[in-house]
Amino acid sequence: MIFTVAIDGPAAAGKGTISRAVAERFGFAHLDTGLLYRAVGAKGGDPVEAALTLSDADLTRDDLRTLEAGQAASRVAVIPEVRAALTDYQRSFARREGGAVLDGRDIGTVICPEAEVKLFVTASAEVRAHRRWLEVGGDEAQVLAEVIERDKRDAERATAPLKAVEDAVVIDTTVLSINAAVDVACRVIAEALGVRQ
């Protein structure tokens, strides 16, 4: 069975947690596409060359979840040649046998517009910044400023800007618990699969 779930949304909205949970629940493979961009940014040097030579070792670095890696990812993600280099890998992953869940910023809009399920996970900038601050520490006001800056850069980039597609189900986690958000996502996927939970 080929079945793709595309989950998009801004940083720290909960899309990664939801993606991992639904992938596990339905037995689908999972790809955090942000890790690809974080790995390219973390490699340094020429970003296009980094994207073209990305290895499994690059994707398992222990510094990919840092705030710095996130900022680097956002900077290299605006480069069309970097995006093109990573697109084929993501599309191939999405259409693998057994089902796949991909989370990122342009899965439903660019990578997998034909996905059987499209979700857009969001939350207020303040709530997302607080979550990120709990993860990485530092100055909470600075984390909020960086979240707002990244949102602006991701939404205004010329190539694949962050936005919800018309047929996406929006899940706002500002006041929704992660368990409740996962339940909403699972109901949408189960309905699309034509199964009852």
Which string of DSSP letters, residue by residue, matches 83-138?
A: HHHHHHHHHHHHT-TT-EEEEESSIIIII-TT-SEEEEEE--HHHHHHHHHHHH-S
Reported as a single tens digit per residue, the pLDDT across 152-170 is 888 888 777 888 899 999 9
Asked if residue 195 has pLDDT above 70, the reply is: no
For 196, phi then psi, to 5°, come to -100, 140
CA distances from 151 to 13, 57, 74, 75 (A): 12, 29, 9, 12
Q: According to the model, what pLDDT value does residue 167 have? A: 94
- Average pLDDT, whole number, for the chain? 91
The answer, as to whether pTM is greater than 0.85, is no
Give the span between the Cα atoms of 45 and 80, in whole angstroms: 16
Asked if residue 112 has pLDDT above 70, the reply is: yes
- Of all residues in the chain, the percent with pLDDT exceeding 90 is 69
Confidence of residue 87 (pLDDT cuts 50, 70, 90): very high
* Residue 5 C-alpha from the chain's centroid: 12
Asked if residue 141 has pLDDT above 90, the reply is: yes
Give the span between the Cα atoms of 38 and 73, in whole angstroms: 4
Confidence of residue 11 (pLDDT cuts 50, 70, 90): confident
CA distances from 178 to 17, 21, 23, 168, 186 (A): 8, 10, 15, 19, 12
Asked if residue 34 has pLDDT above 90, the reply is: no
Reported as a single tens digit per residue, the pLDDT across 67-76 is 888 889 889 9
Residues contributing to the annotated binding site: 9-17
Look-up of token digits 């706002």: 172
Q: What is the DSSP letter of 144?
A: H
Domain ranges of the chain: 4-193
Confidence of residue 27 (pLDDT cuts 50, 70, 90): very high
**Residue partners of 183: CB distance under 8 A and separation at least 6:** none
Asked if residue 78 has pLDDT above 60, the reply is: yes
Asked if residue 197 has pLDDT above 80, the reply is: no
Q: According to the model, what pLDDT value does residue 196 have? A: 41
Considering the domain delimited by 4-193, tell me its CATH architecture.
3-Layer(aba) Sandwich (3.40)
Residues contributing to the annotated binding site for ATP: 9-17
Give the span between the Cα atoms of 73 and 123, in whole angstroms: 20
Q: Is 29 helix (H, G, I), strand (E, B) or coil?
A: strand
